[in-house]
Amino acid sequence: MDYRSLGRTGMMVSPLCLGAMMFGEWGEPDHDTSIGIIHRALDAGINFIDTADVYSRGESEEIVGKALKGRRDDVVLATKFHGPMDVAMGEWGDPLQRGNSRRWIFREVENSLRRLGTDWIDLYQVHRPERETDVEETLSALTDLQRQGKIRAFGSSTFPAHQVVEAQWVSEKRALGRFVTEQPPYSILARGIEADLLPVAEQFGLGVIPWSPLAGGWLTGRFRKGQDAPQSNRAQRMPARYDLSEPGNQRKLDAAEHLALLAEEAGMTMVHLAIAFVLQHPGVTAPIIGPRTMEQLETQLGAVDVRLGAEVLDRIDEIVPPGVTLSAADAGYQSPALTDPFLRRRRTS
């Protein structure tokens, strides 16, 4: 594979990152099967693996740790913190068992290191922004972990552009380490980051590791008009992304239909079209692929060899215009200013 620099860290990573979200209870519960998928990816040249503490509540990290025994030095290993670890996804539980505070970061990094079976994490990422915690608090804690040698670098995930800029400013102003990567949602159906996040990342030299280049399965060819929506564990956990009664998802269905025809005309699979689109953006380092089965992995690996011509890219722009995300549910993060009416309404007494 053609390896790329992960931002300005000096770490060279494969153009595909193996996402481990589907290993464990959320996807493939058999550990040996999941380990086989990881080993196949490593043998194919992938040297970059991304997981998170919340994926199957730590089980994904445990599986990755097992798979990397004897091969740890050959991999750039990334994980994330922020989400609640004491309850199922979508619930919040004990407020002390989650978040971006120094208290939680120092506790949870030790748990991730133990589950991963390693002495260090190459890239430790803040899974989501948090209004209640000053970013200086988070950056200060991560800087201390970096100086202790427990993490090599740190980054953000699904941060809006203005918060990426704020974090860079705070790092410089307070002489702290800085975010060196950002992990945003990005696919043909979710192009919102093209408007501001990607230009900001390029300006600050951040590595960009997009998640969900297949739009959570929408760009695999399985979603077609006149057919029932496929059922999956992911659809059960995140129904807003798959409910066909939602206008945004209807727009996705229309676009997926046109994209399937375009892929057929271009002589490639829809999976390759979707991943190659993300790979070809000059601001992207390595999209994250998240296979649940060996077959899914095999269908995605070949995307690194696909180059989309200007005519195909222009057609994609006609189907989904640049900078447009068809469904707000695919943005990954909604500002509290939009989700909390209390923050939009002046209090008179």
Give residue 335's pLDDT: 85
Give residue 93's pLDDT: 77
Identify whether 340 is part of a domain: no
Count the domains in the chain: 1
Q: Percent of the chain, pLDDT > 90?
A: 83
Catalytic residue selected from 55, 124, 186, 242? 55
Question: Residue range 141-146: average pLDDT?
Answer: 98
Instruction: Let me know the angle formed at the C-alpha of 77 by 76 and 78, rounded to the nearest 5 degrees.
Output: 120
DSSP H helices, the chain, are: 31-43, 59-67, 102-116, 135-148, 161-173, 197-204, 233-237, 247-266, 270-279, 294-301, 310-319, 336-339
CATH of the domain at 153: 3.20.20.100
pLDDT greater than 90 at residue 86: no
Identify whether 349 is part of a domain: no
* Model pLDDT for residues 55-85, shown as the tens digit of each residue: 999 999 999 999 999 999 999 999 999 999 8
Give residue 90's pLDDT: 61
What's the domain range around 267? 4-335
Q: How confident is the model at residue 101 (pLDDT cuts 50, 70, 90)?
A: very high
Question: Residue range 183-187: average pLDDT?
Answer: 98
Mean pLDDT lowest for which of 192-201, 226-235, 325-334?
A: 226-235
Identify whether 54 is part of a domain: yes
Name the more confident of 164 and 339: 164
Global pTM? 0.94
Give residue 349's pLDDT: 61
Give residue 241's pLDDT: 87
Residue 282 neighbours by CB under 8 Å, 6+ apart: 202
Question: Residue range 126-137: average pLDDT?
Answer: 96
Identify whether 346 is part of a domain: no
- Whether 55 is a known active-site residue: answer yes
pLDDT greater than 70 at residue 164: yes
Give residue 88's pLDDT: 67
Give residue 69's pLDDT: 98
Identify whether 195 is part of a domain: yes
Identify whether 310 is part of a domain: yes
pLDDT greater than 90 at residue 18: yes
* Model pLDDT for residues 200-239, shown as the tens digit of each residue: 999 999 999 999 999 999 999 888 777 766 777 776 677 7
Question: Residue range 99-107: average pLDDT?
Answer: 97
Beta bridge partners of 285: none
Instruction: Let me know the angle formed at the C-alpha of 75 by 197 and 306, rounded to the nearest 5 degrees.
Output: 60
CA distance 320 to 189: 7
Write down the mean pLDDT value for the chain. 94
pLDDT greater than 80 at residue 277: yes
Cβ–Cβ < 8 Å for 28, 63:
no
Identify whether 131 is part of a domain: yes
* Model pLDDT for residues 34-60, shown as the tens digit of each residue: 999 999 999 999 999 999 999 999 999
Identify whether 343 is part of a domain: no
